[in-house]
Structure 1
Amino acid sequence: MPTRATQTGRVRVRAGEGHQGYLTKALWAKVAGTICLIALMLYIADPAPHSSGGTAFGYISGTASAGLILWLTALGVRKRAMTRGRWSLKGWTSAHVWLGLSLIVVVTLHTAFDFGWNLHTLAYALMMVVILSGLFGVTMYQTIPSRMSANRGETTEAQMLEALRAIDRQLDAAAQPLDHETAAWVLASIDEDPFAGSFVNRLSGQYPRCRTEAAQAAIRRLTGSRADMGDDPLERVDALLEKKQALLARMRRHMRLKALLEIWLYVHVPLTFATIAAVAAHVVAVFFFW
């Protein structure tokens, strides 16, 4: 893929570097595995590991886990500064993914498997949902960018939108000879916002109230009832609507893929802060009310 460079030329970052190949970085996978192994060994060595999380191991693992959660949250800030080297966006994201996964083991051992309907279990449950949503996000970033690129081909979003406007201009000219009622269908298609629709429409890729589809159906009802089309303007309009439908389908696939790429953040980010709040409340409860 093409590279982008800063004005100074000192930093060159490949497009998509932050999300491609970071799972292959062995360093942070080894660090995470080592943390899990150490936690398991300390848990087994604890004199009373199965009573509750309030043992020496429980306090150590809890403090380490809380600090790690805060550190991982810094990825949202770090993503804004792309650099090379060990602490590049790719390296930071690799650390975020693998160390985040290590929390599953460390925090579960920290709980000593003592779950119930309480604040402490709530903090654990929120953390697990955040991790699972993060795994979903990892999957999306590994698969969707290439699908978006394949769908766009050699065109950009702006070029697709300009092509759509060009078709609308041609439709406007082609609809001039039509009667008022038929032209109204075509004008409704031209006036339609290609980005209209709810988030559910974007996510599903289904637009049941598409005016372009309705216009084409109306035109084809008319053309189907006429045996001899000849040099009929309806034929020209139908061909343009067909072309517009194909382009709209590409644009809507693009919007659907973008929605899939973003939807996990609506869970991951808010619940990250909810987890931090629950962990803080958990710490306060442990040190001041137990």
Structure 2
Amino acid sequence: MLLLISSGLYLSQAETLPPNGGSWQGYVLGSIGTLLIIWLSCLGIRKRRYASKSANLQAWVSAHIYLGVSLIGVATLHCAFQFGLNVHTLAYVLMCTVILSGLIGLYAYLRYPRLLVENRANQSFEQRLESLAKIDKEGLALAANCDVEIQSIIASAIDRTAIGGNLLTQFFGRDHSSVAMPVKDAASHHTQMFDNKGQQTVIDFLVAKIPNTQKPGEAERLQKLLYILGRRQEILRRLRRELCLQFRTKLWLSVHIPLSIALLVSLCIHIFTVFFYW
């Protein structure tokens, strides 16, 4: 309905003059667009007023989405498809960017909370860290009864486990864990750093080690270590997944909010410029 009214105003402009934002229809469309931007900007305030007796938050968000998308049409008709290298077009571009980021945020808020609940499986991030510390302690205690090589590898895998990291690492949930593995050659015995993504390098090493054990009970201890590493692998996967989802949500907010503020500033400049040179 809003777009139909806006289209009617746009088409009603005098045939002797080309449509533009300076006609009374253009000013009406501009006023509608300005009111929409201000109203839509209030969502952040409304989201924090949970005790309000007005329309529920879900209805508010639904209106926010539909009116936000409609705003593109209203603003485009207001400027009569006239663009250039000026502050007016800057405001238009910022508006479209904010709306696009809002749609991305809609996808994030529809998808990520559900994924977070599924990933947590009734355990908080802190509880998983406690479980990881307990498993690490069990692994070290069990490795202490194995040969020195196994002890060194397990200790290295635990010490060099990476959770989080730089921006790209958190965004994609990458695993940059490593481990110092023994490298045997004719000259000497030394260690070399290997990628240990998903603890898979250590797991593969222990699997290959089991058939070659000679000490009594060694194979059983290695089997238990494999079980511990499997549990550790799952906990680490869930920890990284949660960090990834939380980081993506925070990253969206850190982009969407500044863009919204920039849009309001550019809108004020746009309005001031129009009336100052009117």
Q: TM-score, normalised by structure 1?
A: 0.77
For structure 2, list consecutive stretches of 5 or more residues without a partner in the other structure: 180-195
Tell me the distance in 2 between the aligned counterparts of 1:195 and 1:264: 21
Aligned-pair CA distance for 1:184:
4.1
Tell me the distance in 1 between the aligned counterparts of 2:198 and 2:120: 25
Tell me the distance in 2 between the aligned counterparts of 1:274 and 1:252: 33
Pairs within 5 Å for 1:1-290: 34-47=1-14, 50-83=18-51, 86-178=54-146, 182-191=150-159, 195-210=163-178, 213=197, 217-218=201-202, 220-221=204-205, 224-225=208-209, 227-229=211-213, 231-232=217-218, 233-290=221-278
Tell me the distance in 2 between the aligned counterparts of 1:201 and 1:47: 57
Query: 8 Å contact 2:143–2:154 — kept in the other structure?
Result: yes
Tell me the distance in 2 between the aligned counterparts of 1:289 and 1:67: 22
Tell me the distance in 1 between the aligned counterparts of 2:230 and 2:85: 58
Query: 8 Å contact 2:160–2:177 — kept in the other structure?
Result: no
Query: 8 Å contact 2:21–2:27 — kept in the other structure?
Result: yes
RMSD of the alignment, in Å?
2.7
Deviations 1:119-152 (A, max 9, x none): 1111101100110111111122222322222233
Query: 8 Å contact 2:43–2:64 — kept in the other structure?
Result: yes
Tell me the distance in 1 between the aligned counterparts of 2:155 and 2:9: 72
Tell me which structure has the larger Cα radius of gyration: 2
- The 1:222–1:157 alpha-carbon spacing in structure 2 relative to 1, beyond 3 Å, is closer
Aligned-pair CA distance for 1:234:
4.0
- The 1:43–1:245 alpha-carbon spacing in structure 2 relative to 1, beyond 3 Å, is same
Tell me the distance in 1 between the aligned counterparts of 2:198 and 2:253: 35
Q: TM-score, normalised by structure 2?
A: 0.80
Query: 8 Å contact 1:171–1:240 — kept in the other structure?
Result: yes
Deviations 1:224-255 (A, max 9, x none): 25634352244433331222012211222222
Tell me the distance in 1 between the aligned counterparts of 2:198 and 2:43: 46
- The 1:287–1:184 alpha-carbon spacing in structure 2 relative to 1, beyond 3 Å, is farther
Moved more, 81-90 or 159-168: 81-90
Seq. identity, %: 36
Aligned-pair CA distance for 1:220:
4.1
Query: 8 Å contact 1:213–1:245 — kept in the other structure?
Result: no
Query: 8 Å contact 1:79–1:89 — kept in the other structure?
Result: yes
Aligned positions, number: 257
- The 1:225–1:159 alpha-carbon spacing in structure 2 relative to 1, beyond 3 Å, is closer
Query: 8 Å contact 2:98–2:259 — kept in the other structure?
Result: yes
Aligned-pair CA distance for 1:200:
1.3
Q: In the alignment, what sits opposite 1:22? A: none
Amino acid at match of 1:287: F
Aligned-pair CA distance for 1:80:
1.3
